[in-house]
Chain A
Amino acid sequence: MDILSLTAVELAKAIREGKTTAVEATQAVLDKIAAGEDTYHCYVTVEREKALKQAEEVQKKIEAGELTGPLAGVPFAIKDNMCTEGTLTTCSSKILENFVPTFSAEAVLNLEKAGAVILGKTNMDEFAMGSTTETSYYGVTKNPRNPEHVPGGSSGGSAAAVAAEECFAALGSDTGGSIRQPASYCGVVGMKPTYGTVSRYGLIAYGSSLDQIGPLTKDVTDCATVLEAITSHDPKDSTSMERKNTDFTSALVADVKGMKIGIPRDYFGEGLDPEVRDAVLAAAEVLKAQGAEVEEFDLSLVDYAIPTYYTIAAAEASSNLERFDGVKYGYRAQDAEDLHTMYKRSRSQGFGPEVKRRIMLGSFVLSSGYYDAYYLKALRVKALIKKAFDEAFAKYDVILGPVAPTTAPKLGSSLSDPIKMYLGDIYTISINLAGLPGISVPCGTDSKGLPIGMQLIGDCFQEKKLIRAAYTYEQSVK
Chain B
Amino acid sequence: MAKQYETVIGLEVHVELATKTKIFCGCSTAFGGRPNTHTCPVCTGMPGSLPVLNKQVVEYAVAVGLATNCTITQYCKFDRKNYFYPDNPQNYQISQLYLPICRNGSVEIEVAGEDGGTYTKPVRIHEIHMEEDAGKLVHDDWEDCTLVDYNRSGVPLIEIVSEPDMRSADEVIAYLEKLRLLIQYLGASDCKLQEGSMRADVNLSVREVGAEKFGTRTEMKNLNSFKAIARAIQGERERQIDLLEAGKEVIQETRRWDDNKEYSYAMRSKEDAQDYRYFPDPDLVPVYISDEWLENIRSRQPEFRTEKMKRYKEEYDIPEYDIDIITGSKHLADIFETCVALGSQPKKVSNWLMVETMRLLKEKEMEPEDIRFSPEHLSKLITLVDGKVINSSVAKEVFQVMFEEDVDPEQYVEEKGLKTVNDEGALRKVVEEVIAANPQSVEDYHNGKEKAIGFLVGQTMKAMKGKADPASVNQMLKELL
Residues of A within 8 A of B (CB): 82-83, 89, 91, 96, 99, 101-103, 105, 200-205, 207-209, 235-239, 315-316, 318-319, 322-325, 327-329, 339, 343, 363, 366-368, 371, 375
Contact = CB atoms under 8 A, between A and B. Distances in A.
Contacts of A101: 46-48
B47 A209 contact: no
Contact of B92 (A99, A319, A324, A329): A319
Given A208-B282, A324-B47, 9 more contacts: A96-B47, A101-B48, A238-B50, A316-B279, A318-B277, A322-B90, A322-B92, A363-B277, A366-B277
A323 B279 contact: no
Interface in B48-99: 48-53, 80, 82, 84, 86, 89-92
A235 B49 CA distance: 12
A210 to B, nearest CB: 8
A209 B91 contact: no
B284 interface: yes
Given A101-B47, A238-B52, A323-B91, A371 B86 contact: no
Contacts of B49: 201-202
Interface in B288-323: none
B44 interface: yes
A16 B269 CA distance: 70
A466 to B, nearest CB: 25
A238 B53 contact: yes
Contact of B283 (A239, A327, A363): A239
A315 B91 CA distance: 15
A316 to B, nearest CB: 6
Contacts of A89: 47-48
Contacts of B51: 238
A322 B46 contact: no
B282 A323 contact: no
Nearest to B49: A201
B279 A366 contact: yes
B41 interface: yes
Contact of A328 (B45, B277, B283, B285): B45
B48 A201 contact: yes
Contacts of B463: none
Nearest to A235: B52
Contact of A103 (B41, B53, B90): B41
A328 B39 CA distance: 13
Contact of B48 (A202, A316, A327, A339): A202
B279 A322 contact: no
A371 B82 CA distance: 14
Contact of A367 (B86, B91, B148, B275): B275
A209 B82 contact: no
Given A103-B41, A236-B50, A208 B90 contact: no
B48 A83 contact: yes
Contacts of A91: 47
Contacts of B148: 327-328
11 contacts: A99-B47, A102-B41, A203-B48, A235-B52, A316-B279, A316-B282, A323-B90, A325-B86, A366-B277, A366-B279, A371-B277
Contacts of B283: 205, 208, 238-239
B47 A204 contact: yes
Interface string B90-131: 111000000000000000000000000000000000000000
A6 B92 CA distance: 47
Given A208-B282, A327-B148, A319 B84 contact: no
Given A238-B53, A315-B279, A102 B92 contact: no
B47 A319 contact: no
A235 B25 CA distance: 11
8 nearest CB pairs, A to B: A322-B91, A208-B282, A366-B277, A209-B282, A202-B48, A83-B48, A204-B47, A323-B90
Given A102-B41, A237-B50, A319 B285 contact: no
A208 B45 CA distance: 15
A299 to B, nearest CB: 25
Contacts of A318: 82, 277
B276 to A, nearest CB: 8
Which of B51, B52, B279 has the most A CB atoms < 10 Å from its CB? B279
A375 B47 contact: no
Contacts of B91: 322-323, 325
A323 B47 contact: yes
B52 A327 contact: no
B91 to A, nearest CB: 4
Nearest to A84: B48
A466 B145 CA distance: 57
Contacts of B82: 318-319, 322, 366
Nearest to A200: B50
A324 B90 CA distance: 8
Contact of A375 (B48, B52, B80, B279): B279
A209 B284 CA distance: 10
A202 B44 CA distance: 14
B46 to A, nearest CB: 7
Contacts of A319: 80, 82, 92, 277, 279
A323 B49 CA distance: 11
Interface string B18-58: 00000000000000000000000100111111111100000
A322 B52 contact: no
Interface string B142-169: 0000001000000000000000000000
Contacts of B285: 238-239
A368 B90 CA distance: 21
A95 to B, nearest CB: 10
B280 to A, nearest CB: 9
A324 B148 CA distance: 16
B89 A328 contact: yes
Nearest to B280: A379
A425 to B, nearest CB: 19
A83 B92 contact: no
Contact of B46 (A102, A200, A237): A102
A102 B84 CA distance: 24
A278 to B, nearest CB: 39
Interface string B237-271: 00000000000000000000000000000000000
A339 B86 contact: yes
A102 to B, nearest CB: 7
Contacts of A99: 47
A74 B364 CA distance: 68
A316 B47 CA distance: 14
Which of B44, B91, B285 has the most A CB atoms < 10 Å from its CB? B91
Interface in B347-367: none
A323 B89 contact: yes
B48 A82 contact: yes
Nearest to B276: A368
A368 B275 contact: yes
Contacts of B89: 323, 328
A163 B192 CA distance: 63
A89 B82 CA distance: 25
Contacts of A329: 46-47
A323 to B, nearest CB: 5
Contacts of B279: 315-316, 319, 366, 371, 375
A235 B54 CA distance: 12
B284 A238 contact: yes
A327 B46 contact: no
Contacts of B45: 323, 328
Contacts of B84: 322, 325, 343
Contacts of B282: 207-209, 239, 316
A99 B50 CA distance: 18
B443 to A, nearest CB: 87
Which of B49, B50, B86, B90 has the most A CB atoms < 10 Å from its CB? B50
